[in-house]
Amino acid sequence: MHASNTKVLIDEKAKSKQINATSKLGAQQMVHWFVASSYASSSFTEERVKNSVALLHRVPSARNAVLHRFTMLYEEAIRASLDQMEFPATAIGLSSEMTSSLELVTTTLFDLLNENGEAWASILCSWSVESLGQISSCYKQRQVIPPPTNLSRLLSFWLNLVPMRMLLDVYRTSLNILIQCNVASCLDSLLSASSNHSPYFDWVVADIGNAFPNAVIERVLNTGFSKFCKLRWTSISITPSSSITMNESEQSILTSVIRILEHLATFHQTQICEKMLEMFKTPPADKSTGQIKIVFFLMRVFSASIQLLHATTNLFVNEINATTLNQLHKQFKRLSKGPEEMESLCSLVVHLVCQSSTGSYSLVNLMIAAASHDSQKIGGLEKSVKDIFSNILPSILKDLQHLALSKQSEDKETNNVFFELSNNYPNLCKDIITTSSDERKKWLHSVLLSVCLNHHASHVLSHLLIESTTAAHLEIFLKLFNDVKPFVPELTEKIVIRSFTAIKQMPGEKSLRLLINLYHLTSQTGSGLVSDNFVTRMTHCLCIVLDELVSMLGHLSSSQQIAFNAVQLLYIILSSVSSYKIKLDMRLMPLTQTLVFYFYKLLHTGHVNNDQAMQCCQRTLVQLSQTPELFAVVCRFVLEASVSQENSILFGRRVESNFSENESHSSQDLCTDHHVSLLSMHRKLSAQTISRRCSSVAGFVPISIETGMVGSGPKQKKKCPISKVAQTSNNESLSLLLYRCCCKTTSGTDISHFSIPDVAQAFDAEKLSVLSTSLLSAIMASSPYLATAITLDGEPEWPSNQVKKFTIERDLKVFHFMDEHPFAWQLLSLVAHNYRSLWNLSPILRSCISVLIFHFEASRYNEPPSETSLHYQVALQVIQIARKGQLIPPPLCFVNELFHIVTEYEINVLMVVVWNFIKDYPPPLEGENNEVPVTRNFEAEGINLQPYLATIHTILHANIDKLGHMFSRFTMQS
């Protein structure tokens, strides 16, 4: 491409002058003059150059001498150019005469090629390429010339020198003519010059190779392979030009081939890979051993050139199958010189695998498949071939591990064997989990160990942890973890963090697997590969992701299985790690809120107390309530949520039921029709009456109808939307939860097998006090009416029974609340173990007793009440709680034993007796020396029970036929 530019510089008049000058001399005179000018000073005058040109035309036998003189001319011109670049102040550079001489010589050479290219191309090609090599080596020490390692700068530098560019254009033109008919001769001269003048001649090879890539690549490979075979084995003659000189050795041949190919690989890597693959597929000459020799040659090339190895690994791996390996093994046995040859081959394979990059995963996977006799991946291998791979693979894996350890302190590289192995660690993990071959598992374990040691331990182990679905899979994880742990600090923390980071982008199934596996690892100690130290470490590391566990538990989209396993892990953390390390003071509120949310979510989905999920949730909440301070938070969240609109229906709150459009009503009862309005009917009748009467007469309008209090249709009946069985189960679950939280000895125990005795010693008095306060607050928060009732009527002193007539409406609100929330009675029974705590809830008991008194007072039935009636059941519960809470002493506390026998009015009398006693003798809240007594001592208080017992005796006398046997029960023992 520079030839046309060079020709532009040549004056057309030079050619005519040359012809005129040469015509005056004979051939013999020209030779004498040429020889004489060689010994004269300033031999490169324009006249002598013209004579040389004329001699080249007239005397063919003198062409080598003339061409040598031309080489010296170019060399001198380049020296002058370099001098001017290095010493611009003193050097004059190219003279006009030197420039004219160069133009004349270059023009002459181009003319020869144009006139008779087939004859002169070979001659000028060999001369020009040797001249280029000679000049490049001659000036290698000049400071202005870039080093040969920077090929792009070196190439640019020489192309910017006019004399060198002229000479290169002559070579290109010759090569362009010759490449069409005699590729071997022109490329052999190029390779020969490269071998003699390397590395200073590499820029020429790079330039020519870019112009004729396919031809140069093919010739370089074939020539190199031919010489390689001649040195190592018997002669394989591809071309006559593949002769070996005395200075050439196997290493020098490989070095020459590699140097040229690496230069060309920058822009022609695809062509190089294709030519190498073509050599492998169609080996030359000797069919019996040709392919194995090609393999040896290419392996040696790859071992010395990492660049070519990385470029071709994938191509060759894709071409290797069982048939190819069996065939190569047969050819190798024909060439093998003994065990040393096999050992050398194995070492070379190990070296190549460890130096590979792109395609390393496919290469290692292929070798593992061959060594582990995997018929699915590479079936049909001969046993001897499998044995070879089985012998090579341990060395490869050992070297990979050593290489990984040596690179641990270095930065992560992107051009080594671990790059693709690390990118494919999910496939390796899947392979080791799914394979049924123990031998294959062993190899894959070693590969994964190498990947872990090369900065990817947390990636690999977290992926295994997420993907494991059986105990056998976890054993694989633990074995790999135990091998990696000594080399990677803080490995457990990295695995946990990486795992929870990864599952954010994964489906819920992956999250569930991770939680199950973590629970399995942290709940089993001293078995197999799980050590106590590992469990402790893993449990402490879970504190790092405690917020993520809470988020998974509280997320609405989380499945029940995910939530259940998250709660199990939270329990393990709370029961094994100190509150300080968990930072419970900062996490208590969101943690408690989430657990309470999950508890009610279980109730809404139909879980009962014996369900595993419910017991796990309760166990975690109990563990969180170990101190009264922590229990106060848990209790507040639980009780406030229990009285909310959406949760209170779980326990029996009744709501208005909407009649469906298809619901049938009795046509005989007009009031059952939704559209019947007494107000409208009354106004219609009133209008008819007034029209018949005098206008001064006004019709009577009931106030209750006009104000809308009645008459707007049938009363809407309220009903709880869930079944009685579910209500009972839900109340039991909530009550048992708080019972267990208040118990002294439920920490770290299996609550499913732990029975709670109904004695005061089993419960924490401080927690009972907290429970009473929280229950009262929850009742107040449930409704403004209840808040008003407790606020206005919440004084500790009980008023006279007659005063309760003015608070009956508010008392009814409290009574209905207790009816719709049966768990409140059970909590009152629990609080009654501490009479001081029960006294805090006395407004609740007072309202209930007040309603009972009014109810039974209004009854005039001379029969005992129905034992299934609400008021009867409440009356029994009130007396039992007052008895347990030591608000009433024996024998007054036995009055509930009479309720099923006496009339309702007599029950009213008995309830009034109880009211009056509690009003007259409230429990002491302080003892001597300001000490609060644990239990109440009625005898020490000097209480006179005779006035109260007298009323009871009156009822006994009235029912002597039925209650005579119980008289002693209500008599004071002296």
**Can you tell me the distance from the alpha carbon of 766 to that of 739, in angstroms, rounded to the nearest whole number?**
13
**Range of weakest confidence among 212-221, 270-279, 582-591, 956-965:** 212-221
Closest to 794 (Cα-Cα) out of 773, 818, 770, 825: 773
C-alpha–C-alpha distance, residues 821 and 828, integer Å: 12
Instruction: Show Cβ contacts of residue 106 under 8 Å, excluding neighbours closer than 6 positions.
Output: 6, 7, 10, 166, 169, 170
Query: Does 22 have pLDDT greater than 50?
Result: no
Q: What is the mean pLDDT of the chain?
A: 81
DSSP H or E run through 636 = helix 628-642
Q: Under a CB-based contact definition with an 8 Å cutoff, are residues 478 and 528 in contact?
A: yes
Distances (CA, A) of 283 to 286, 288, 291, 399, 501: 8, 10, 5, 32, 52
- Cα–Cα nearest to 902, from 966, 958, 969: 958
pLDDT of residue 1: 41
- Report pTM: 0.75
Helix axes 491-502, 471-484, angle to 10 degrees: 130
Percent residues over pLDDT 90 in the chain: 29
| DSSP assignments along 147-200, one per residue | PTT-HHHHHHHHHTSHHHHHHHHHHHHHHHHHTTT-HHHHHHHHHHHHHHHTTT
Other C-beta atoms closer than 10 Å to the C-beta of 354 total 18
Helix (H, G, I), strand (E, B) or coil at 842: helix
Provide CB contacts within 8 A for 109, sequence distance 6+.
70, 124, 170
The Cα 298–Cα 294 span in angstroms is 6
Query: How far apart (Å, rounded) are the C-alpha atoms in residues 693 and 34?
Result: 160
Q: What is the pLDDT of residue 727?
A: 92
Contact predicate 551/602, CB 8 Å: no
Report the 3 state secondary structure along 372-434.
CCCCCCCCCCCHHHHHHHHHHHHHHHHHHHHHHHHCCCCCCCCCCHHHHHHHCHHHHHHHHHH
pLDDT band, residue 481 (cuts 50/70/90): very high
CB 268 within 8 A of CB 209: yes
Whats the size of the chain, residue-wise? 974
Contacts of 533 (CB under 8 A, 6+ apart): none
DSSP 325-385: HHHHHHHHHHH--SHHHHHHHHHHHHHHHHH-BTBHHHHHHHHHHHHTT-TTTS----HHH
Structure confidence at residue 718 (pLDDT): 79
Task: Answer yes or no: are the C-beta atoms of 392 and 346 closer than 8 Å.
Answer: yes
pLDDT winner (highest mean) among 329-333, 631-635, 748-752: 631-635
- Secondary-structure breakdown of the chain: helix, strand, coil percentages, each rounded to the nearest 5: 70, 0, 30
Report which secondary-structure segment, H or E, holds 958.
helix 946-958
Q: Are 779 and 786 in contact (CB under 8 A)?
A: yes
pLDDT in the model for residue 793: 61
Report which of 155, 125, 173, 146 is spatially closest to residue 6, judged by C-alpha positions.
173
Q: Are 662 and 737 in contact (CB under 8 A)?
A: no
Cα–Cα distance, 11 to 955 (Å, whole number): 149
- pLDDT per residue over 126-157, tens digit each? 888 888 888 888 888 888 888 877 777 888 88
Tokens of 31: 């030779």
Q: How far apart (Å, rounded) are the C-alpha atoms in residues 401 and 266?
A: 32
Encoded tokens for 893: 């506390």
Question: Cβ(767)–Cβ(797) under 8 Å?
Answer: no
Q: Model confidence at 121, in pLDDT bands (50, 70, 90)?
A: confident
Q: For 299-307, what is the mean pLDDT?
A: 87
Q: What is the CA radius of gyration of the chain?
A: 53
Q: Which two tokens stand for residue 777?
A: 């607050």
What are the structure tokens assigned to 454, written together? 């090369």
Regarding predicted confidence, which is higher, 182 or 851? Answer: 851
789-838 residue pLDDT tens: 777 666 667 887 777 777 888 888 899 999 999 999 999 999 999 988 99
Distance CA 563, CA 540 (A): 20
- Selection from 658, 639, 609 nearest residue 780 by Cα: 639
Is there a contact between 77 and 129 (Cβ–Cβ < 8 Å)? Answer: no
Instruction: Tell me the β-bridge partners of 357.
Output: 359
End-to-end CA distance of the chain: 134
Q: Please give the structure tokens belonging to residue 49.
A: 């150059």
965: exposed, middle or buried (Cβ count in 10 Å: 0-12, 13-18, 19+)? exposed
Give the dihedral of Cα atoms 14, 19, 23, 26; nearest 10 deg: 80
Number of H helices and E strands in the chain, helices first, is: 47, 2
Give the separation between CA 868 and CA 591, rounded to whole angstroms. 42
Assess contact for 888 and 914: CB atoms under 8 A.
Answer: yes
Q: Which of 1-10, 15-24, 525-534, 886-895 has the highest mean pLDDT?
A: 886-895
Mean pLDDT of 456-474: 92
pLDDT of residue 750: 63
Give the whole-angstrom CA distance, residue 440 versus residue 436.
8
Are 741 and 628 contacting, i.e. CB atoms less than 8 angstroms apart?
Answer: no
Q: Is the pLDDT score of 700 beyond 60?
A: no
Are the C-beta atoms of 860 and 772 separated by less than 8 Å? no
355 contacts 309 by C-beta, under 8 angstroms = yes
Q: Kindly state the average pLDDT of the residues 62-73.
A: 81
Q: How far apart are CA 559 and CA 553, in angstroms?
A: 9
**Would you say 92 and 86 are in contact if contact means Cβ atoms under 8 Å apart?**
no
Position 562 confidence tier, pLDDT thresholds 50, 70, 90 = very high
Picking from 550, 537, 548, 615, the residue whose alpha carbon sits closest to that of residue 577 is 537
Higher pLDDT, 863 or 211: 863
Q: How far is CA 606 from CA 326, 562, 609, 641, in A?
A: 66, 17, 10, 17
Q: What is the pLDDT of residue 938?
A: 84
**pLDDT of 320-338, one tens digit each?**
888 888 888 888 888 776 7
pLDDT per residue as tens digits for the range 898-951:
999 999 999 999 999 999 999 999 888 765 555 556 788 888 888 889 999 999
List the alpha helices (DSSP H) in 668-807. Answer: 678-692, 703-706, 724-742, 765-782, 784-792
Inter-residue contact 783 to 836 (CB < 8 Å) = no
